[in-house]
């Protein structure tokens, strides 16, 4: 598969006379892909049942005739205003019970049956009309599921669907489900929360104090399944008319639905990468780090998502939207350091991306994203990002094809564990994503390339080290496969801490085959009460007290066990700060026979097939092991030399 570039274009925003020139300039820039259509419903069906496809026919023809390949988006993220008149109850409802109104986007509840039917109708029309169009070379379903907190909705439609979902989860005789089984699984005897029938079960919002965590987790799983079903409906319709691959554009740090389950119905995973936008409120780093990387973005956040979406796409993945300059939506919106647009593009290719598409072609002079840069200014003159896009286009012409490669380190990521942590974080601000990302960051600082693994992965061939931190519910089959494999395995904290219904299992966790270690009790820590470790660094946020006969391999200054090891399995009963995490993981790598490095801050490396890439995210030049990289520098080494 060749490495390719593309852009996101909105023909409906510009006079027709501009389309041909835009298309020609895209092709001249070296772009292959142009994504269109994903917000155009009000122009495709201006009145219920009155379709206007002529303009889209022409736009696709103009773009295609210029040599571009079209990614056609389904427009279901932006239902037109008349749709709300038809289905006033289709709006999502927030936790305070307020409808989320028309006037921006994503104003729909995944559970609303009438809206789903209308989505099926518009997707069918599009798929019938363009399924065999030679210029339509890929599809995108909807746009950014979950963006703007839209996965979870407390609507009447959601309540009805949740009750059906629960009946299926706790099946009984006939259609009515087994309410006694649900009561037992959730522990509803506590506080007299027992139900007599499924139709008494409400959504877990607006309760006097916290709702039962089993109830909350069930509702999160249900909400995730609604996204999966909504997406599957669209994918099935498109497939009836088209053989082109289908993608969705996922996001950074959106974990409210199971992307692996959505991805199972699609051909390509793609995601929208906004490194500077993410830095302040998604990465979770302190002010000094934010300042140091204000114009470069976090050195690990994009890489993590590249690896995550490579797993979601089962090897096939793209960046559907790449930041080309300042965005408009973060707390502050600085411009990137010269060279960063190129660096971000190459970092994606280094992780195996097939395509990187810049969002957007031309900056819009109107509406919500006026201050969001594009490759062109609103007047059509090149914006600063354009020269870098052109440079990358030139560089990928000479680069090899995308080569699949397996890393030595596998890191399990489980959306269900994220739902469980969100349900019961146990300490303010603690999250599963945060724990996994801290682990990933330490691995990257050790110079390692990482594969993210789905929790139902059983093919561990080639991995020498597999980590499963925070995997709240450990499916027995996964535990058995890990214990039986050849890889070194690192578990915890909180791995196996709950059963499938969110209760503490007995025997106590982690109850892992062949490991004599037990979590006897747990505590979360204030920011000002870290616990120093004997070998350096400290425990932060969360700590477990361990018992058992396995060998203690990490302990506090006062001699309490923090990690224990037996055979190929190590259990870590703490959240470690970065120095301790790096030291602890370097030891695990050593045991697994994996060489590590100690990279300077901001320098990162990624191995992909026969290529090794170096990236300098720092604002200063860096030298390491005989290499020198300027700020925003990229160095590509192949077995044949450097590029």
By annotation, the residues acting in catalysis are: 144, 321
Q: Which is nearer to ligand GAL, 121 or 147 (CB)?
A: 147
Q: 561-566 and 551-555: which strand pairing?
A: antiparallel
Q: Which is nearer to ligand GAL, 268 or 589 (CB)?
A: 268
Nearest CA-CA partner of 525 in 546, 544, 542: 542
Q: How many CB atoms lie within 10 A of CB 245?
A: 17
State phi, psi for 231 to the nearest 5 degrees: -70, -40
> What minimum distance in Å lies between the beta carbon of 102 and ligand GAL?
17
Nearest CA-CA partner of 147 in 56, 80, 98, 76: 76
Q: Which is nearer to ligand GAL, 240 or 332 (CB)?
A: 332
Residue located via tokens 């890393």 = 407
Alpha-carbon span 119 to 115, nearest angstrom: 6
Q: Which is nearer to ligand GAL, 281 or 459 (CB)?
A: 281
Cα dihedral 516, 566, 454, 4, rounded to 10, equals 160
For residue 139, the 8-state DSSP code is E
> What minimum distance in Å lies between the beta carbon of 257 and ligand GAL?
16
> What minimum distance in Å lies between the beta carbon of 8 and ligand GAL?
7
> What minimum distance in Å lies between the beta carbon of 304 and ligand GAL?
18
For residue 99, the 8-state DSSP code is B
Q: Which is nearer to ligand GAL, 326 or 618 (CB)?
A: 326
Q: How many CB atoms lie within 10 A of CB 349?
A: 27
- Listing DSSP states for 52-120 in one string gives --HHHHHHHHHHHHTT-EEEEEP-TTS--HHHHHH-GGGS-B-TTS-B--SSSS----TT-HHHHHHHH
Alpha-carbon span 482 to 477, nearest angstrom: 9
Evaluated on CA atoms 324, 617, 282, 494, the torsion sign reads: positive
Cα dihedral 399, 405, 407, 410, rounded to 10, equals 120
Q: How many CB atoms lie within 10 A of CB 612?
A: 17
Which residues, listed in sequence order, are joined to residue 524 by a DSSP beta bridge? 542
Cβ–Cβ < 8 Å for 327, 335: no
- Listing DSSP states for 255-290 in one string gives -SS-HHHHHTT-SEEEEEE-HHHHHHHTS---HHHH
> What minimum distance in Å lies between the beta carbon of 147 and ligand GAL?
6
Cβ–Cβ < 8 Å for 255, 433: yes
> What minimum distance in Å lies between the beta carbon of 322 and ligand GAL?
10
Structure tokens at 372: 């969001």
Q: Which is nearer to ligand GAL, 327 or 412 (CB)?
A: 327
Nearest CA-CA partner of 271 in 238, 295, 239, 304: 304
- Binding site residues, ligand GAL, CB under 6 A: 143-144, 147, 272, 274, 321, 327, 329, 359, 369, 372
Q: Which is nearer to ligand GAL, 144 or 395 (CB)?
A: 144
Helices 384-397 & 340-350 angle (0-180, nearest 10): 40
State phi, psi for 382 to the nearest 5 degrees: -55, 130
> What minimum distance in Å lies between the beta carbon of 460 and ligand GAL?
35
Q: Which is nearer to ligand GAL, 368 or 638 (CB)?
A: 368
Q: How many CB atoms lie within 10 A of CB 294?
A: 17
Alpha-carbon span 530 to 528, nearest angstrom: 6
The SS3 call for residue 363 is coil
Q: Which is nearer to ligand GAL, 23 or 357 (CB)?
A: 357
> What minimum distance in Å lies between the beta carbon of 374 and ligand GAL?
10
């Amino acid at each position: 598969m060749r490495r390719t570039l593309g852009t996101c274009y909105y023909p409906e925003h510009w006079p027709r006379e501009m389309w041909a020139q835009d298309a020609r300039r895209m092709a001249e820039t070296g772009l292959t892909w142009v994504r269109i259509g994903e917000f155009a419903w009000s122009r495709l069906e201006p009145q219920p049942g009155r379709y206007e496809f002529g303009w889209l026919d022409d736009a696709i023809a103009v773009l295609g005739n210029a040599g571009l390949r079209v990614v056609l988006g389904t427009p279901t993220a932006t239902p037109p205003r008349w749709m709300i008149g038809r289905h006033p109850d289709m709006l999502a409802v927030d936790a305070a019970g307020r409808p989320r109104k028309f006037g921006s986007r994503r104003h729909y509840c995944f559970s609303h049956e009438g809206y789903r039917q209308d989505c099926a109708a518009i997707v069918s029309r599009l798929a019938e009309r363009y399924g065999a169009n030679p210029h339509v070379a890929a599809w995108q379903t909807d746009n950014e599921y979950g963006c703007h907190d839209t996965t979870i909705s407390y609507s009447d439609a959601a309540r009805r669907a949740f009750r059906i979902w629960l009946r299926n989860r706790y099946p009984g005789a006939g259609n009515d489900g087994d309410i006694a089984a649900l009561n037992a699984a959730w522990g509803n005897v506590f506080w007299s929360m027992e139900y007599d029938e499924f139709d008494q079960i409400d959504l877990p919002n607006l309760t006097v104090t916290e709702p039962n965590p089993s109830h909350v987790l069930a509702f999160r799983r249900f909400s995730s399944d609604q996204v999966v079903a909504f997406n599957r409906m669209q994918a099935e319709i498109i497939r009836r008319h088209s053989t082109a691959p289908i993608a969705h554009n996922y996001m950074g740090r959106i974990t409210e639905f199971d992307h692996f389950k959505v991805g199972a119905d699609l051909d390509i995973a793609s995601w929208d990468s906004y490194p500077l936008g993410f830095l302040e409120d998604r990465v979770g780093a302190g002010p000094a780090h934010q300042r140091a990387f204000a114009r470069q973005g976090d050195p690990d956040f994009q890489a993590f998502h590249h690896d995550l979406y490579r797993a979601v796409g089962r090897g096939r993945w793209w960046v559907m939207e790449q930041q080309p300059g300042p965005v408009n939506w973060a707390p502050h919106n600085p411009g990137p350091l010269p060279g960063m647009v190129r660096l971000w593009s190459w970092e994606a290719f280094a992780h195996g991306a097939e395509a990187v598409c810049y969002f957007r072609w031309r900056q819009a002079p109107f509406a919500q994203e006026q201050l969001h840069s594009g490759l062109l200014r609103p007047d059509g003159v090149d914006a600063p990002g354009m020269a870098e896009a052109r440079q990358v286009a030139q560089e990928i012409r000479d680069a090899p094809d995308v080569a699949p490669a397996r890393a030595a380190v596998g890191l399990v990521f489980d959306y269900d564990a994220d739902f469980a942590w969100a349900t019961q974080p146990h300490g303010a601000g603690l999250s599963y994503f945060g724990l996994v990302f801290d682990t990933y960051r330490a691995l990257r600082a050790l110079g390692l390339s990482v594969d993210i693994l789905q929790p139902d992965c059983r093919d561990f061939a080639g991995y020498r080290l597999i980590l499963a931190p925070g995997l709240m519910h450990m499916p027995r089959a996964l535990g058995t496969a890990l214990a039986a494999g050849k890889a070194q395995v690192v578990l915890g904290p909180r791995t196996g801490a709950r059963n499938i219904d969110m209760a503490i299992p007995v025997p106590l966790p982690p109850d892992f085959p062949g490991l004599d270690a037990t979590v006897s009790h747990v505590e979360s820590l204030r920011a000002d009460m870290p616990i120093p470790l004997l070998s350096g660094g400290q425990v932060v946020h969360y700590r477990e007290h361990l018992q058992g006969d396995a060998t203690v391999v990490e302990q506090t200054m006062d001699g309490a066990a923090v990690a224990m090891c037996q055979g190929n399995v190590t259990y870590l009963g703490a959240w470690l700060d970065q120095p301790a995490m790096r030291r602890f993981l370097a030891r695990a790598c050593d045991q697994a026979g994996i060489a590590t490095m100690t990279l300077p801050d901001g320098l990162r490396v990624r191995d992909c097939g026969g290529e090794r890439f170096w990236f300098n995210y720092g604002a200063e030049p860096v030298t390491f092991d005989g290499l020198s990289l300027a700020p925003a520098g990229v160095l590509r080494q192949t077995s044949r030399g450097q590029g």
